[in-house]
Structure 1
Amino acid sequence: MYQLSVNLEDFLAKYWQKQPTIIKGGFVAFSDPISPEELAGLSMEEEIDSRFVSNANDQWQAEYGPFSEDKFTDLGASHWSLIVQAVNHWHAGAAELVKPFKTLPQWLFDDLMISYSVEGGGVGPHIDQYDVFIVQGSGKRHWRVGAKDVGQYKETKRHEALRQIESFDAIIDDVLEPGDILYIPPGFPHDGYALEPSMSYSVGFRSPKEQELISNFADYVLAHDYGNVHMHKPELSTQEHFGEITSGDRETLTQMLTSALENETTVKDFLGCMLSQSRHQLNIIEPDTKWTSEEVAEHLSQGGELYKVAGLRALVHEDEPTMVYINGEVFRLAESQVWLARALTNEDVLVDVEPNTHVVPLLTELLNKGYWYAE
């Protein structure tokens, strides 16, 4: 079990989206939860996002997986990195590294990205628009972080798949050793490269952009056929300047545009559905043979446990704790089942669940969707 050496509440108050910092010994006696060979194996899977980046002789190259086994033969001893996204979805040991950050809002959590780099390997100077805790595993990595200054840094195209920037002055310039954590808020330029073969673990938190909210809300409105009405104006009259949009018409059209946003239920359901969907593919496997309610009841009565699929998001609104949003779907629970909603959204394992008539049908549905499973 990994345990942070800092108090997250204190850390948030001082650093979150304010300034980058290094936490020396953020994890005491840190050991890698995954090997480079296992990481390479994951990069061969089609459903897992991965990249291979090399920069030998300052010639930047980038490839996207899945990779074949041949990719990892006869590689040079320096200047390359293998990067795999959402490893917490696919590797139980790596998923343990996310747990110390669980008390942060999980709708903000993006994924655990892991990179293996040999000497000189990295992705070059760049700027991200999300919060990230970079945990150093085995080996050492040199990191530089610059000041946040919107518009100051110019992008450079060393490769079409890499969004890099030109050089920057560092406000942090240090070497991370196993267990050290570098926190970088959005908008701060940074650059890291391995001093020796090393593992790096990036725990990322990402909020949606305004344009994502607007675009996804439009899709949600269309999917649910909301607002399928035209402007109604029986008192229409002629106008001398017929190329004008009158102030009254503009106000009416604006009201039509914002009416859906003024419906609290619509907005709550939209946000619950959108924020409960992962940006990365999940390891969801529906059972070959569907569970019956009787089988689920028997499993629970015998003390059987149910496990949430790694990376699956289950959320509730603070003021409506019986509406559970799971992977973009809505599940309504009875008022007496708030405890179950809390368990579904806060726990990775359901234990000691009494198989009553409210619980069994819902858990049967979740098991058959592959969202939870039994060992």
Structure 2
Amino acid sequence: MYQLTFSLQEFLSTYWQKKPTIIKGGFAHFQDPLSPEELAGLTMEEEVDSRFVSNLNDEWQAEHGPFNEDKFASLGQSNWSFIVQAANHWHEGAAQLVTPFKAMPQWLFDDLMISYSVKDGGVGPHIDQYDVFIIQGMGKRHWRVGAKDIGQYTETCRHEALRQIESFDAEIDQILEPGDILYIPPGFPHDGYALEPSMSYSVGFRSPKEQELISNFADYILANDYGDVHMHKPELSTQDNHGAITAGDLASLTEMLTSKLNDPLAVKDFMATMLSQSRHHLNIIAPEPKWTQEEMAQHLSDSGELTKVAGLRALHHEDEPSMLYVNGDMLKVPEELAPLIMALCHNTTIQLPAPCTSAVSLLTELVNKGYWYAE
């Protein structure tokens, strides 16, 4: 089991979205959860989001997976990297690495990205708009981090698949060794390259942009068929300035536009529904044949466990634990199941020796959707 050597709460108070920092020995006696060969195996899978980046002789190349064995056979000894997004969705050991960060809001957590690089491999100087903890595994990597200064840095296009910037002055310039952690808030330029074959693990946290909230709320309104009405104004009168939008009409149209935004229940359901959706593909496999409620009741009475699919987001509102939001689905459950909802949202596995009928019904539905599974 992985454990941080520092107080996460104190770290958040001092550094979170304030300034980058390096925590030497952030994980004591760190052991890589997977080998470079296992990571290469993930890049061969169709469902897994993977990339290959090389910069030999400063000629940048980037490709998206899946890859095959021929790709690995043709590689040299320097200047390339393999990267796997959401590795925690596909590898149990990798999923364990994010456990120490689960004290942070689940809806903020994005994914665990893993990079294997040979000497001088990296993705070049760039700026991200999310918070990231970069954990050094095997090997050593040299990192540089600059100051946050919006508008100062110039983007460059060395390859269409890479968003890089020109050089920057470093305020952090250090070598990371196994177990060290580099934290970078949004907007800070950074660049890292391997000094020897090495593994890096990036635990990323990402909040939605205002554009995403507006766009997704519009989709939510359409999906639920809200607001399917036109403006109603039986007191319409003539106007001399017929090319003008009157203040009264503008007020009526604005009220139509904002009516659901001003509906706290609609906004509440929308937020949890949207935030429960992962940005990355999940390893969801619906069982065949489907479970019956009788089979579920027997499984639970035999002290059987149910395990949440890795990376699945299960959320509830703090003041309303009888609503369960899972992967974009919204499920209303009886109030007596509030403790079960809490367990589903906060735990990886659950066990209910004597479940009630409504609990069996809910769990059967969740398992048949592929969200939870029995070993």
TM exceeding 0.5: yes
Which residue does 1:215 correspond to in 2?
215
Q: Structure 1 stretch 214-223 or stretch 350-359: which is displaced more?
A: 350-359
Once the two structures are superposed, what CA deviation does each residue of 1:240-276 show, in whole Å capped at 9, x if it has no partner? 2211111111111111110011111111111111100
Partner SS for 2:217? helix
SS in 2 for 1:350: strand
Length, aligned pairs only: 375
Name the amino acid aligned to 2:215. Answer: S
Indicate yes or no: 2:46 matched with 1:53.
no
Find the residue that maps to 1:277 and give its secondary structure: coil
Q: 1:174: which partner in 2?
A: 174
5 Å-filtered alignment, 1:230-309, equals 230-309=230-309
AA matched with 1:367: V
Question: CA offset at residue 353 of structure 1?
Answer: 4.1
How far residue 217 of structure 1 moved from its aligned partner, in angstroms, is 0.5
Deviations 1:9-42 (A, max 9, x none): 1000000000000000000000100111111111
Q: Corresponding residue for 2:187?
A: 187
Whole-Å separation in 2 of the counterparts to 1:268 and 1:251: 25
SS of the aligned residue for 1:107 comes to helix
2:111 match: secondary structure: strand
**Equivalent in the alignment of 2:324:** 324
* Counterpart for residue 142 of structure 2: 142
Aligned to 1:335: 335
CA drift of 1:335 comes to 1.4
Kindly indicate whether the alpha-carbon contact (under 8 Å) linking 2:302 and 2:353 is maintained by their aligned counterparts in 1: no
1:123 aligns with 2:123: yes
Amino acid at match of 2:179: G
Question: Matches of residues 96-115 of structure 1 in structure 2 within 5 Å?
Answer: 96-115=96-115
Bigger drift between 206-215 and 238-247 goes to 238-247
**1:171-230 Cα distance to aligned partner (Å, 9 max, x none):** 100000000000000000000000000000000000000000110110110011100111
Q: Which string of whole-angstrom CA distances, capped at 9 and with x for unpartnered residues, describes residues 74-105 of structure 1?
A: 31100000000000000000000000000100
Matched AA of 2:329: E
* TM-fit CA distance, 1:355: 2.1
Q: Distance in 1 between matches of 2:184 and 2:156?
A: 21
Distance 1:202 1:354 in 2: 40
Q: CA deviation at 1:352?
A: 3.7
Superposed counterparts of 1:72-91, under 5 Å:
72-91=72-91
Mapping for residues 149-160 of structure 1, pairs under 5 Å: 149-160=149-160
> 1:119-173 CA distances to partner (integer Å, 9 max, x unpaired)?
0000000000000000000000000000101111110000000000001111100
Alpha-carbon distance between aligned partners in 2 of 1:246 and 1:87, rounded to the nearest angstrom: 56
Distance (Å, rounded) in 2 between the aligned partners of 1:279 and 1:292? 31
TM-score using structure 2 length: 0.99
State the match for 2:66 in structure 1: 66
Checking the alignment, whether the CA contact within 8 Å between 2:80 and 2:120 is kept in structure 1 is yes
Structure 1 residues 91-100 or 325-334, which shifts more?
A: 325-334
What is the percentage of aligned positions where both structures have the same residue? 73
d(CA) in 2 for partners of 1:353, 1:265: 35
Matches of 2:234 and 2:371, distance apart in 1: 52
AA partner of residue 76 (structure 2): G
- For 1:316 and 1:43, how far apart are their aligned partners in 2? 34
Equivalent-residue separation in structure 2 for 1:224 and 1:255 (angstroms): 19
What TM-score does the superposition give when structure 1 sets the normalisation length? 0.99
Give the deviation of 1:68 after TM superposition: 1.4
Secondary structure of the 1:261 match is: coil
Residues in 2 aligned to 1:354 and 1:76: alpha-carbon distance in whole angstroms: 59
SS in 2 for 1:52: strand
Q: State the distance in 2 between where 1:84 and 1:354 align.
A: 41
Amino acid at match of 2:6: V
Q: Distance in 1 between matches of 2:251 and 2:145?
A: 48
RMSD (CA atoms):
0.7
Q: Which residue of 2 aligns with 1:27?
A: 27
AA aligned to 2:120 is G
Aligned amino acid, residue 15 of structure 2: Y
> Which segments of 5 or more consecutive residues in structure 1 lack a partner in the other structure?
none
Amino acid aligned to 2:192: G
State how far apart, in whole Å, the 2-side matches of 1:335 and 1:237 are: 52
For structure 2, the 5+ residue unaligned runs are none
Any idea what the Cα deviations from partners look like across 1:266-319, whole Å, max 9, x if unmatched?
111111111001000100011111111111111111111111100000000111
Contact 2:53–2:80 (8 Å) recurs in 1: yes
2: CA distance between counterparts of 1:265 and 1:54? 49
Q: CA deviation at 1:338?
A: 1.3
- 210-219 or 330-339, which deviates more: 330-339
- State the one-letter code of the partner of 1:31: Q
Q: One-letter code of the match for 2:322?
A: T
